[in-house]
Chains A and B, each alone.
Chain A
Amino acid sequence: MSLRRKISTLKLPHYKGTAGMAAVRMAVPKEVLLPMNMHSGQAAEPVVQVGDHVTVGQLIAREEGRNSAPVHASVSGTVKAIEPYAAGGRKTTAIRIESDGKMEKCPDLKIPQPTNLDEFLQCVRESGVVGLGGAAFPVWAKLAAAQKSHIQTVLINGAECEPFITSDHRVMLECGDLIEKGIALLKQFLQSEEYIIGIEKNKPDAIAQLTERFANDPAVKVMPLDSVYPQGAKQVLLYNATGKVVGPGQRLASLGVIIINVTSLVKTAEYFTTGMPLVERIVTVEGSAVKEPKNLIVPIGCSIRDLVEACGGLKEEPGKILYGGAMMGKTVDTLDASVLKATNAVVIMNRADAEKTKPSPCIHCGRCVAVCPLGLNPTAFARAMEMENEDARAALLQKEQVSLCMECGCCSYVCPAHRPLAENNSAARRFIRGWETAQKEKKEGGK
């Protein structure tokens, strides 16, 4: 393994002060607001009406279209409204449920008993579990790759390389049984040979605990990984754990590998243990504006404001509110925004931390090139985006392969000139996607 090139070398401050804090259950919120687009595919379709009484785990929106996922009531109570929702940027509808405080379980829930892969996938589909590390890609769609080709290796992602976040860490410490159950399910239905749990070395307790748990299972390997960012990114984890590389346009499954976040696996296993679909999760609440940072077990759809109250309130006005960690976290401008399925952390920074330094000219130091885990050249993308001629710009971006960029943000982080390189990379990716679509249409139009 030491022969492999070190592809990610960035050591970040961890800010993982909540790592030692066991997850505590938050008081039942007064209401929850469940958006229909908590997954990466098409939005779900509400199946309840205003005024309906719902119970915990009850289906309130069915999956609709490609890579969609169902939504379940996370509290018991009354549907108050089905309303537009736009916090965080993507416009959708959301179901507002006023809680009756009873957290009454849906009586129709039963433990699924699949007998073959197709039935198993159907059950996973009904569990509503999506990629809970942030990607929010439906888990059943990921596992469905096993229908087409044999999956030899399942990589269980417990790297949690993002600063601030410790929710996966807590899951690994607190839900060992469910990890075991999850692996047993995959063994039964995917029949993969190898299960690698990749964990960064900054979580020695999780590594020790899981190593001991699987000591007698030769198929399961707990793999300690260097604490470098972005260790948990697909391409990086794959390379560091298996030495494999996904080529351009290639799918991970074609290499016989799938990567699943450890919390996603646990939530899937939970459904097969209790019959309860995804309605709650652990969220790390951290940041310089938060009085008492905590790991909370919360119903999905509760507001960030609820989290803040459970953490003793704010020290000062929020300067920046993040879904996720400090590197790839997405900003939202209101405390009324909902906790989503893939919300592994909410980081609230004070005004001073939220401020960015003004960029100065690029001094060509090469730090961005050296730090990029994929070996891309962000300065070339910046040069391209300054070009007036769109065809020339597209040509340079294609040559420099901007589409490989996973927007991990390492380049911006190290830039001594504080240039917004990662932001420019995203703009370049958007541009090239638009340009390629336009070229295709032009070609087809000409025929």
Chain B
Amino acid sequence: MDNKPVMAAGPHIHSTDSSRRIMLDVIIALLPAAIAGVVLFGVQALWIILTCVVSAVVSEFLFNLVAKREQSVGDLSAVVTGLLLALNLSTSVPLWQCALGSIFAIVLVKCAFGGMGHNFANPAITARVFMLMAFTSTVAGGAAPRMVDAVSSATPLNLIGVEGAELPTLGQMFLGLRGGAIGETCILALLLGFAYLLVRRVIHWQTPVIFIATVFVCYLVAAGDFTVALYEVLAGGLVLGAVFMATDYTTTPITAEGRWLFALGCGLITFVIRRFCAYPEGVSYSILCMNILSPWLEKWTRRKPLGGV
């Protein structure tokens, strides 16, 4: 054995950060929303979460095995993808569809492009959009939370503008007492996760705040009503998407200014889809669109280096 001192390039110390730790932090930050989802929507929510996570991890494991790639499930990113997908689905989706969505996210969106860090779009979002098209009837509708019988299973976004429809109050919206996907309804839980990510310095506050503020301002201008604008912010998957998916590292610009533009674009597209298009919800589509624009945003926001041109 060679006992000579190591020859290596600097630096010779390293921060305590690691990719795995970042993924673990995202999982921890998602836990309040996941727990709220199970409380609100019942044990079926738990089955969906487990199905998505397990099928994501297993499909990544098998893909690596078949493709003879180095095993990567230990980095926990598959767990994050599975968990995020589950929180974006409602309890009306059958488990086999959940599993299929998870496999789609991992194998086609992530692994086929080279694994973690190489996918061009957010796997969970892409899978949700795929499922929305493939299984429209189960994925588009929401399920009602079990403790509120007055509220229909339709998500509030479907009900806005429907004459005579009974909408949940803003307070109910904040706590998650409304129809929707498992992890999107309880805003309180999502904000807890947001705070944790900020404290752990995993994400910057700008992306979620700009995204949400853009939607809010657009509605304030378009509807001229503070309550409506606030309602739009609390409804749908906006907070979940803004905090957890518009902040995905791989599919958003690497520059700070690029990320701000990314968030602005997400907000505008969400507003346009919600207000003018056939779909009641636009968060997933807006993030997917901006994912694709991301390399350009990065190019446009390149800084002039200090002492450079």
Real binding pair: yes
Q: A12-B13, A357-B18 are in contact. Are A318 and B117 (CB under 8 A)?
A: no
Whether, in the assembled complex, A78 has its beta carbon less than 8 Å from a beta carbon of chain B, the answer is: no
A356 contacts which chain B residues (CB < 8 A)?
8, 14
User: A412 to B304, alpha carbons, bound, how many Å?
Assistant: 21
A331 and B309 in contact (CB under 8 A), knowing A326-B13, A414-B15, A422-B11? no
> A375 and B13: CB pair below 8 A?
no
Query: Contact: A366 with B254, CB < 8 Å?
Result: yes
A412 to B11, CA, bound (A): 7
Closest CB of chain B to A34's CB: distance in Å?
A: 22
Considering the complex, give the chain B residue whose CB is closest to the CB of A359. B19
Contact of B18 among A246, A347, A366, A416 (CB under 8 A): A416
**Is A369 a contact of B254 with CB atoms below 8 Å?**
yes
CA distance A375 to B256 in the complex (A): 11
B68 sits at the interface (CB 8 A):
no
- Tell me the smallest distance from the CB of A216 to a CB of chain B, in Å: 36
Q: In whole angstroms, what is the CA distance A196 to B251 when docked?
A: 45
How many chain B residues sit at the interface, stated as a range, is: 35 or more
- Measured between beta carbons, the chain A residues less than 8 angstroms from B163 are none
What CA separation (Å) do A373 and B306 show in the bound complex? 8
Give the CA-CA distance A354 to B69 in the complex, in Å: 28
Q: Which A354-407 residues have a C-beta within 8 angstroms of B?
A: 354-357, 360-367, 369-370, 373-377, 379, 401, 404, 407
Give Cα A320–Cα B11 distance, bound, in whole angstroms.
Answer: 12
The one of A163, A355, A369, A404 in contact with B307, judged by C-beta atoms closer than 8 angstroms, is: A404
Residues of B with C-beta under 8 A to A245: 306-307
Report yes or no: B10 in contact with A327, Cβ–Cβ below 8 A: yes
**Given contacts A354-B6, A364-B254, are A248 and B309 in contact (CB under 8 A)?**
yes
Q: Does B11 lie within 8 Å of A328, measured CB to CB?
A: yes
Instruction: Say if the beta carbon of A189 comes within 8 Å of chain B.
Output: no
Given contacts A327-B12, A331-B6, A423-B9, contact A416 B17 (CB under 8 A): yes
Q: Tell me which residues across on chain B come within 8 A of A349, comparing CB atoms.
A: 12
Known: A413-B14, A414-B15. A404 touches B254 (CB 8 A): no
A361 to B13 Cα, complex, angstroms? 20
A255 to B18 CA separation, bound complex (whole angstroms): 42
- Hey, which chain A residues are within 8 Å of B249, CB to CB? 363-366
Q: Is B21 an interface residue (CB 8 A)?
A: yes
A224-250, CB under 8 A of B: which get 1 and which 0? 000000000001000100000111100
- Minimum CB–CB distance from B154 to chain A (whole Å) comes to 38
Pair B308/A248 contact, Cβ less than 8 Å: yes
With contact pairs A362-B117, A364-B117 given, residues A331 and B306 touching in the complex (Cβ less than 8 Å): no
A370-B256, A416-B19 known; A361-B117 Cβ under 8 A = yes
Q: A250 → chain B, closest Cβ, in Å?
A: 8
A191 at the interface (CB under 8 A from B): no
Best-buried of B115, B117, B259, B308 by chain A (most CB within 10 Å): B308
Decide if B10 touches A409 in the complex (CB within 8 Å): yes
A198-220 toward B: CB 8 Å interface, digit per residue (1/0)? 00000000000000000000000
Is B153 interfacial (CB-CB < 8 Å)?
no
| Bound CA–CA A407/B17 (angstroms) | 21
A322 interface residue, CB < 8 Å from B?
A: yes
Residues of chain B within 8 A of A317, CB atoms compared = 3
Supposing A375-B303, A416-B21, A416-B22 touch, asked if A361 and B116 sit within 8 A by C-beta, the answer is: yes
A176 interface residue per 8 A CB criterion: no
Residues of A within 8 Å of B146, CB to CB, are none
Residue in contact with B75 in the complex, picked from A360, A367, A370, A374, CB distance below 8 Å: A360
Residue B275, interface by CB 8 Å: no
The answer to the question of A13 belonging to the interface, with a C-beta cut-off of 8 Å to chain B, is yes
Specify which chain B residues have a CB less than 8 angstroms from the CB of A369 in the assembled complex: 254-255
For residue A376, which residue of chain B has the nearest CB?
Answer: B305
User: Is A13 a contact of B11 with CB atoms below 8 Å?
Assistant: no
Report the bound CA distance from A327 to B253 in whole Å.
28
- Is A375 in contact with B11, judged by CB distance below 8 angstroms? no
Once the chains bind, are A320 and B6 in contact (CB under 8 Å)? yes
A-B contact pairs, 16 of them (CB 8 A): A12-B13, A248-B307, A326-B10, A327-B10, A327-B11, A328-B10, A331-B12, A333-B4, A361-B114, A363-B116, A364-B250, A366-B249, A404-B305, A404-B307, A409-B11, A423-B9
CB-based closest 4 A-B pairs: A409-B11, A423-B9, A416-B17, A361-B117
